[in-house]
Each structure stands twice: as C-alpha cells, then as structure tokens.
C-alpha cells in the first residue's frame, strides 16, 4: 500500500463544511479569531508530523432569494471569518516543517497581487506553501461584494485557466532561480535573469516585472477540488493534489479514475496527480461509545441551519421544493457537485443527509482500530494517495486522531514517522526530487 499523505481541513471560521457544531461542549472553534487557537492546532499537526494544515475559504455568504437568513448569523454558518493568507503567515513563525495550504479565488483575486502574496509566504516558509485553486463556491454573493457581474460555472473555470497563466508567468518566468547574487562587492541581481512579463488573455491583462523574486518552490503546490466535468479538466491539467469529497470506496474509485484520466488526456502521467479524499471520523473506546459521541455532535446542531447551509453552497432553497422532488430536477451555477452527488435521491433525503454532515459524508464512527481499517480499505479500494482529515469538533477531533489512529497507521507502515529535513512541501507530497514543478507541468513552459 502507498505511504499515505494526511492533512487537516480547517476554515478560519467557527464552523466548517456546512454543519454548525460550534455549540458542542468540547468545541473551541468559537476561538478561531485568536492566534492561540491556530498556534495550538498547528502545533498538534506538526508534533504528529502531519503533511499540512489546510485553510479553506469563501468570500461569499448564505443567501436565500437575495436575503441573508438570520440563522446564518445566529449559528455563524459562513461569517465572520479571517483571511487564510494572514493566518498562514502568522503560523510561519510557530512552525518549521508543517505545510500550509490555503484556498485562493481565481474569480475575485487580482492575479498580480495574489502572485506576490503567495510568493512571499513561500519565500518566508522555505517552500512549505500550497494553493487550493477555487472558482469560488459562493460566487453569487462574492461577486456582489467585489462589484462584479456573476460569472457562470464553466466560464469561471475558463477564467481560472487564464488566471493560472498570469501567475505562472510571474512565479516561473519573471525571475530566474539564480537571478539574485547578493554580492556586496558585485551586484544584488543579474538584469539578464529578470524578465518582463506580458499577458493578454480573455479575462486578464498584465505587464510588469515580478514584484517578488522566485521563491523556493516557484509555484506553490497546486491543489484543486472542483468535481464537475469542467473542474476535473482544470484539475487534470494543473492540479498536483486533488481533494475529493468522502464516500464509499466504490464512489471514490470512480472519482479517482476520472481525475487520473483527465491528467492523462492533458499529457501528464496518471499519478502526476495525487488524490486525497476528505475523511471524517468519530472515535470511541468501543463502537457503541463512538455512536453515543456522534449523537452528541448531531445534537449540538440546530436543524434549521440545514436549509441556509445548503443554499450557501448551491444558491438553492430546498425548503421551497416538495420533499419528493428528485434532485435531478434541480440545477445551479454554484457548486454543481453538491447537486450531482445526490442524483437518484429526493430533496427530503438531502435535507436529512445534509443535517448530519453538510458537504462531507457521514463520519466513520468506531474504535481507533476500526477507523484505521477503514482508512486502509478506502486507500486501497479507491487508489487514494491520502486523506484530508475533516474534524467534527475542533481541536479535540484532531488530537484524538493523532493520538489514537495515527500510531496504528504508523505501526502498519502506511504513514511515515518523521519529516525529511529541509524538504519542500512539493517534494513531500509528490515525491519530486526538487522543489520546482516538473518540466511536464503546463507552468514549466513559462521558464527561461
Ligand atoms: C476538500 C474540499 C475542499 C474545498 N475547499 C473549498 C474552499 O475552500 N472554497 C471554495 O470556494 N470551494 C471549496 N471546495 C469546493 C470546490 O473546490 C469547488 O469550488 C466546488 O465544488 C464547485 O465547483 P464544482 O461544481 O466544479 O465542483 C472544496 C471542495 C472539497 C472537496
């Protein structure tokens, strides 16, 4: 079996993944707006030698028929949040090896400024940064805040391709890796190795010199999570790591095969893309103890949150449809994945399902041994490279996982024990022999 990669899913906000479990007695997520929360969580991840901490993000919010439902505020479903780039920046000085991966929107960010911010993080972290490319799940509300017009679903992916070309040109082509000489008796940099970038694309234009020099990885490790056909195409062409939702081994195997096929269509090798599935679990001393603990998590959440939460991801108000309406009758310009994955089921089924686990799948509920068994079975059955642990109650879910499940995975030889010294996040996650993107990646053509 492959050596697994394991990251932790977080959101610089009180809730995650469309559920609202912040009232649970053990939850400390209401302290998401303190540096201590992030410092302590990052320390748990780094002490356990996890691969990275992932900070998801959204610029938009929940709206139903153009109005923000009061429950979204009462249960802090979507707002307030913190900027993940700034949170990651704060963690650079409290961590030394942990990867820091964050979402950045190709819909609303200006690419030149975004390229600089990510390069700065990559530089100061010594090459520990990853970027989850999103077209923004909450696009309908985010565009209003940015004074933009709505951009349709597949058009947003075309926009993302253009955005990628701009940032690649700056990350890969603006400054050659050995441009900086820093020679006090000579010169600081070699002008022959600093290049003017020009870009005239369908969505973005830019002409300039890189505001930052080349960072250790150049391009941060590229993550992508869109599961619609358009999303998978972009992931297959550009992604180095793809996040997929959770599900049965059979469902995940289908996703993994489709992503690898897209990579091959794009002229890359099937395993140039590492596939990581979201994974949630509730651990107990016995199976029935775990079931009791899971029920307590469900009880911590108000049921009214479900409609507002589903609307945030899809713009659809499920309360306005008869419960027997087939989900195939619905469509969205937001997350098509969150409609398509319920094909064959009804609106009533989805309301019940979403209440228990939001965008994720039902957590695996059991003893540490049972959870380790499930992780191994999923990895083998679905050809996965790793997991994105999506904790239900933070930080205790992460702590319990690293204390009880991780040692079992280590004993089985499927998760490594130590960090390799000086390794970049790219080398760690992809097995690359240096921190730069391989020559087979589309970004490499912008190098000099
Ligand atoms: C593990 C995981 C993490 C995600 N994180 C984000 C995120 O931080 N922000 C966001 O807007 N979408 C996020 N998404 C959603 C997708 O990237 C994508 O934008 C969404 O599913 C809509 O595109 P699609 O219809 O192509 O799937 C995430 C998805 C998964 C599976």
pLDDT 10s digits, 366-388: 999 999 999 999 999 999 999 99
Q: Is the ipTM of this complex over 0.95?
A: yes
Q: Give the total number of structural domains in the chain.
A: 1
Please give the distance, rounded to the nearest whole angstrom, from the Cα atom of residue 165 to the centre of ligand 1. Answer: 21
Over the chain (448 residues), the average pLDDT of each successive run of 10 is 94 86 94 98 98 96 89 91 98 98 98 98 98 94 96 97 98 98 98 98 98 98 94 96 93 95 95 96 97 93 87 90 94 89 92 83 93 98 97 95 98 96 97 95 96
- For ligand 1, whether the C-beta of 103 sits within 6 Å is yes
> What CATH number does residue 75 fall under?
3.20.20.30
CB proximity list for 61: less than 8 A, separation 6 or greater: 68, 72, 78, 79, 138, 141, 312
Choose the residue to mutate in 335, 340, 386, 389 for probing ligand 1, maximizing ligand atoms within 8 Å of C-beta. Answer: 335
In a domain, 422, yes or no: yes
Choose the residue to mutate in 8, 226, 228, 252 for probing ligand 1, maximizing ligand atoms within 8 Å of C-beta. Answer: 226
In a domain, 103, yes or no: yes
Q: What is the pLDDT of residue 357?
A: 80
Please give the distance, rounded to the nearest whole angstrom, from the Cα atom of residue 290 to the centre of ligand 1. Answer: 29
Q: What is the pLDDT of residue 91?
A: 98
In a domain, 292, yes or no: no
User: CA 76, 81, 84, 87 torsion: positive or negative?
Assistant: negative
Q: Which residues form the domain of 241?
A: 5-284+367-439
Please give the distance, rounded to the nearest whole angstrom, from the Cα atom of residue 352 to the centre of ligand 1. Answer: 22
> What separation in angstroms does the CA of 97 have from each of 54, 55, 153?
14, 16, 36
Please give the distance, rounded to the nearest whole angstrom, from the Cα atom of residue 315 to the centre of ligand 1. Answer: 14
Ligand 1, atom 1: nearest CA belongs to which residue?
243
Choose the residue to mutate in 7, 137, 255, 310 for probing ligand 1, maximizing ligand atoms within 8 Å of C-beta. Answer: 137
CB proximity list for 195: less than 8 A, separation 6 or greater: 173, 174, 175, 176, 209, 448
CB proximity list for 60: less than 8 A, separation 6 or greater: 78, 136, 137, 138, 139, 140, 141, 142, 145, 312
Identify whether the C-beta of residue 132 lies closer than 8 Å to the C-beta of residue 101. yes
Q: What is the pLDDT of residue 336?
A: 87
3-state secondary structure the chain: CCCCEEEEEEECECCCCCCCCCCCCCCCHHHCCCHHHHHHHHHHHHHCCCCEEEEECCCCCCCECCECCHHHHHCCCCCCECCHHHHHHHHHCCCCCCEEEEEEECCCCCHHHHHHHHHHHHHHHCCCEEEEEECCCCHHHHHHHCCCCCCCHHHHHHHHHHHHHHHHHHHHHCECCCCECCCCCCCCECHHHECCEEEECCCCEEEECCCCCCCCCCCCEEEECCCCHHHHHHHHHHCCEEEECCCCHHHHHHHHHHHHHHHHHCCCCHHHCEEEEEECEEECCCHHHHHHHHHHHHHCCCCCHHHHHHHHHHCCCHHHCCCCCEHHHCCCCCCCHHHHCCCCCEHHHHHHHHHHHCCCCCCEEECHHHHHHHHHHHHHHHCCCEEEECCCCCCHHHHHHHHHHHHHHHHCCCCCCCCCCCCCHHHHHHCCCCCCCCCCCHHHHHCC
Please give the distance, rounded to the nearest whole angstrom, from the Cα atom of residue 410 to the centre of ligand 1. Answer: 30
In a domain, 188, yes or no: yes
Cβ neighbours of 116 (radius 10 Å): 17
User: Mean pLDDT over all residues of the chain?
Assistant: 95
Choose the residue to mutate in 56, 136, 339 for probing ligand 1, maximizing ligand atoms within 8 Å of C-beta. Answer: 56
In a domain, 347, yes or no: no
pLDDT tens profile 195-205: 999 999 999 99
In a domain, 334, yes or no: no
Q: Which numbered atom of ligand 1 lies nearest the CA of 225?
A: 17
In a domain, 289, yes or no: no
Identify whether the C-beta of residue 9 lies closer than 8 Å to the C-beta of residue 391. yes
Pairing relationship of beta strands 241-244 and 281-283 according to DSSP bridges: unpaired
Give the closest residue to 175 by CA, choosing from 115, 106, 121: 115
Q: What is the pLDDT of residue 302?
A: 86
In a domain, 298, yes or no: no
> What separation in angstroms does the CA of 22 have from each of 62, 185, 297, 326?
18, 58, 9, 32
Q: What is the pLDDT of residue 354?
A: 87
Identify whether the C-beta of residue 275 lies closer than 8 Å to the C-beta of residue 256. yes
Please give the distance, rounded to the nearest whole angstrom, from the Cα atom of residue 390 to the centre of ligand 1. Answer: 14
- For ligand 1, whether the C-beta of 56 sits within 6 Å is yes
Distance CA 287, CA 14 (A): 28
Q: Which numbered atom of ligand 1 lies nearest the CA of 136?
A: 11
Please give the distance, rounded to the nearest whole angstrom, from the Cα atom of residue 310 to the centre of ligand 1. Answer: 14
- For ligand 1, whether the C-beta of 312 sits within 6 Å is no
């Amino acid at each position: 079996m492959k050596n697994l990669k394991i990251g932790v899913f977080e959101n610089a906000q009180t809730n995650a993944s469309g559920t609202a479990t912040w009232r649970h007695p053990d939850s400390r997520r209401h302290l998401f707006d303190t540096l201590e929360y992030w410092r302590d969580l990052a320390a748990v991840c780094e002490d356990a030698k996890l691969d990275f901490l992932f900070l998801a993000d959204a610029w938009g919010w929940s709206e139903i028929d153009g109005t923000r439902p009061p429950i979204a505020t009462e249960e802090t479903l979507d707002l307030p949040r913190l900027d993940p780039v700034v949170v990651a920046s704060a963690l650079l000085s409290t961590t030394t090896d942990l990867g820091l991966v964050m979402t950045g929107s190709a819909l609303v960010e200006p690419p030149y400024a975004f390229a600089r911010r990510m390069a700065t993080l990559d530089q100061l972290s010594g090459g520990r940064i990853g970027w989850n490319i999103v077209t923004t799940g909450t696009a309908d509300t985010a565009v209003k805040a940015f004074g933009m017009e709505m951009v349709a679903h597949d058009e947003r992916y075309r926009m993302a391709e253009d955005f990628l070309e701009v940032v690649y040109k700056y990350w890969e082509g603006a400054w050659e890796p050995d441009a900086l000489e820093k020679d006090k008796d000579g010169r600081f940099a070699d002008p022959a190795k600093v290049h003017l970038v020009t870009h005239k694309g369908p969505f973005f234009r830019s002409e300039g010199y890189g505001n930052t020099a080349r960072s250790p990885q150049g391009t941060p490790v590229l993550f992508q999570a869109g599961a619609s056909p358009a999303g998978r195409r972009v992931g297959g062409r550009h992604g180095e790591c793809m996040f997929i939702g959770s599900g049965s081994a059979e469902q995940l195997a289908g996703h993994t095969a489709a992503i690898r096929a897209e990579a091959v269509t794009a002229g890359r090798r099937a395993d140039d893309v590492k596939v990581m599935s979201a994974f949630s679990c509730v651990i107990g001393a016995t199976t029935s103890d775990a079931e009791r603990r899971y029920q307590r998590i469900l009880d911590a959440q108000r049921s009214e949150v479900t409609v507002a939460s589903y609307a945030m991801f899809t713009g659809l108000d499920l309360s306005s449809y008869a419960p027997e309406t087939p989900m195939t009758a619905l469509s969205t310009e937001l997350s098509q994945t969150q409609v398509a994955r319920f094909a064959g089921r009804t609106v009533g089924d989805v309301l019940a399902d979403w209440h228990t686990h939001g965008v994720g799948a039902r957590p695996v509920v059991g003893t540490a041994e049972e959870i380790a068994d499930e992780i191994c079975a999923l990895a083998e059955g679905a050809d996965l490279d790793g997991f994105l642990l999506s904790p239900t109650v933070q930080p205790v879910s992460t702590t319990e996982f690293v204390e009880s499940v991780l040692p079992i995975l280590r004993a089985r030889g499927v998760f490594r024990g130590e960090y390799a010294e000086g390794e970049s996040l790219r080398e760690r996650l992809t097995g690359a022999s240096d921190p730069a993107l391989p020559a087979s990646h589309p970004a490499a053509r912008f190098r000099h």
